[in-house]
Amino acid sequence: MLKTVDSISRMQTFVKILKKEGRTIGLVPTMGALHEGHLSLMRAAKTHTDVVVVSIFVNPLQFGPSEDFGKYPRDFARDEEMASRVGVDVIFCPKAEEMYPAGYSTYVNVEGLTEGLCGASRPGHFKGVTTVVTKLFSIVKPDIAYFGQKDAQQAFVIRRMVENLNMGIDIKVLPTIREKDGLAISSRNVFLSKEERREATALYVSLKKAESAVRGGEREPRAVIAAIEEVIRECPSAEIDYISIVDTQSLKDVTVIAGEVLIALAVTIGHTRLIDNTIMKV
Amino acid sequence: MLKTVDSISRMQTFVKILKKEGRTIGLVPTMGALHEGHLSLMRAAKTHTDVVVVSIFVNPLQFGPSEDFGKYPRDFARDEEMASRVGVDVIFCPKAEEMYPAGYSTYVNVEGLTEGLCGASRPGHFKGVTTVVTKLFSIVKPDIAYFGQKDAQQAFVIRRMVENLNMGIDIKVLPTIREKDGLAISSRNVFLSKEERREATALYVSLKKAESAVRGGEREPRAVIAAIEEVIRECPSAEIDYISIVDTQSLKDVTVIAGEVLIALAVTIGHTRLIDNTIMKV
* SS3 of residue B199 by DSSP: helix
Are residues A108 and B165, on separate chains, in Cβ contact within 8 Å? yes
Are residues B106 and A110, on separate chains, in Cβ contact within 8 Å? yes
Q: In whole angstroms, what is the distance from residue B152 CA to residue B258 CA?
A: 19
Are residues B112 and A134, on separate chains, in Cβ contact within 8 Å? no
Q: Is A125 a catalytic residue?
A: no
Strands A106-110, A144-148: pairing is: unpaired
Cβ neighbours of A107 in B, within 8 Å: 108-109, 111
**Mutation target among B27, B57, B105 for the A interface, most CBs of A within 10 A:** B105
What pLDDT, on a 0 to 100 scale, did the predictor assign at position B229? 98
Are residues B165 and A104, on separate chains, in Cβ contact within 8 Å? no
How far does the CA of residue A145 sit from the closest CA of chain B (Å)?
16
With CA atoms as reference, the chain A residue closest to B138 would be A167
Q: What is the domain class of A187-281 according to CATH?
A: alpha beta
Nearest-CA neighbor of B208 among B178, B248, B247, B165?
Answer: B178
What pLDDT, on a 0 to 100 scale, did the predictor assign at position B245? 98
Cβ neighbours of B22 in A, within 8 Å: 20
Query: What dihedral do alpha carbons A230, A234, A236, A238 form, nearest 10°?
Result: -40
Interface of A with B (CB under 8 A): 8, 12, 19-20, 22, 103-113, 130-131, 134-135, 138-139, 160-161, 164-168, 249
What pLDDT, on a 0 to 100 scale, did the predictor assign at position B278? 98
Cβ neighbours of B167 in A, within 8 Å: 138
Interface of B with A (CB under 8 A): 8, 12, 19-20, 22, 103-113, 130, 134-135, 138-139, 160-161, 164-168, 249
Q: Let me know: does A134 contact A161? Beta carbons within 8 Å.
A: yes
Residue A259's identity, in one-letter code, is G
Q: Let me know: does A57 contact A79? Beta carbons within 8 Å.
A: no
What pLDDT, on a 0 to 100 scale, did the predictor assign at position A47? 98
Are residues B106 and A107, on separate chains, in Cβ contact within 8 Å? no
Which of B35, B38, B48, B271 is labelled catalytic? B38
Cβ neighbours of A105 in B, within 8 Å: 110-113, 160, 164
State mean pLDDT over B143-153: 98
What pLDDT, on a 0 to 100 scale, did the predictor assign at position B95? 97
**Mutation target among B129, B138, B163, B169 for the A interface, most CBs of A within 10 A:** B138
Percent of chain B with pLDDT over 70: 100
> How far are the Cα atoms of B42, B212, B221, B265 from residue B200, in angstroms, in the given order?
26, 20, 23, 12
Percent of chain B with pLDDT over 90: 100
Cβ neighbours of B103 in A, within 8 Å: 112, 249
Neighbours of A36 (CB within 10 A): 11
Are residues B160 and A113, on separate chains, in Cβ contact within 8 Å? no
Q: In whole angstroms, what is the distance from residue A281 CA to residue A208 CA?
A: 15
pLDDT along chain A (282 residues), means of 10: 97 96 97 98 98 98 94 96 98 98 97 96 97 98 98 98 98 98 97 98 98 98 98 97 97 98 98 97 95
State mean pLDDT over B22-28: 97
What pLDDT, on a 0 to 100 scale, did the predictor assign at position A48? 98
Q: In whole angstroms, what is the distance from residue A178 CA to residue A30 CA?
A: 18
Cβ neighbours of A22 in B, within 8 Å: 20
Of the candidates B12, B107, B112, the beta carbon closest to that of A105 is on B112
- Please give the sequence-ordered ranges of beta strands (E in DSSP) within A86-196, or none if there are none: 90-92, 106-110, 144-148, 170-174
What pLDDT, on a 0 to 100 scale, did the predictor assign at position A180? 98
With CA atoms as reference, the chain B residue closest to A102 would be B164
Per-residue pLDDT tens over the stretch B32-57: 999 999 999 999 999 999 999 999 99
With CA atoms as reference, the chain B residue closest to A157 would be B106
State mean pLDDT over B3-26: 97
Per-residue pLDDT tens over the stretch A44-64: 999 999 999 999 999 999 999
Any idea where the domains of chain B sit in the sequence?
A: 3-174, 187-281
Residue B210: pLDDT band (50, 70, 90) is very high
Residue A68's identity, in one-letter code, is D
What pLDDT, on a 0 to 100 scale, did the predictor assign at position B261? 98
Mean pLDDT for chain B overall: 97
Query: Is B187-281 in the same CATH topology as B3-174?
Result: no
State mean pLDDT over B230-248: 97
Per-residue pLDDT tens over the stretch B101-116: 999 999 999 999 999 9
Enter the ipTM. 0.96
Q: Let me know: does A87 contact A1? Beta carbons within 8 Å.
A: no
Residue B12: pLDDT band (50, 70, 90) is very high
Percent of chain A with pLDDT over 70: 100
Cβ neighbours of B112 in A, within 8 Å: 103, 105
What pLDDT, on a 0 to 100 scale, did the predictor assign at position B184? 98
Nearest-CA neighbor of B203 among B161, B160, B238?
Answer: B238
Are residues B138 and A20, on separate chains, in Cβ contact within 8 Å? no
Which of A38, A48, A125, A271 is labelled catalytic? A38
Chains A, B: CB pairs < 8 Å: 78
Its pTM stands at 0.97
CATH superfamily of A3-174: HUPs (3.40.50.620)
> How far are the Cα atoms of A251, A281, B116, B210, B246 from residue B220, in angstroms, in the given order?
54, 68, 20, 11, 12
What pLDDT, on a 0 to 100 scale, did the predictor assign at position B153? 98
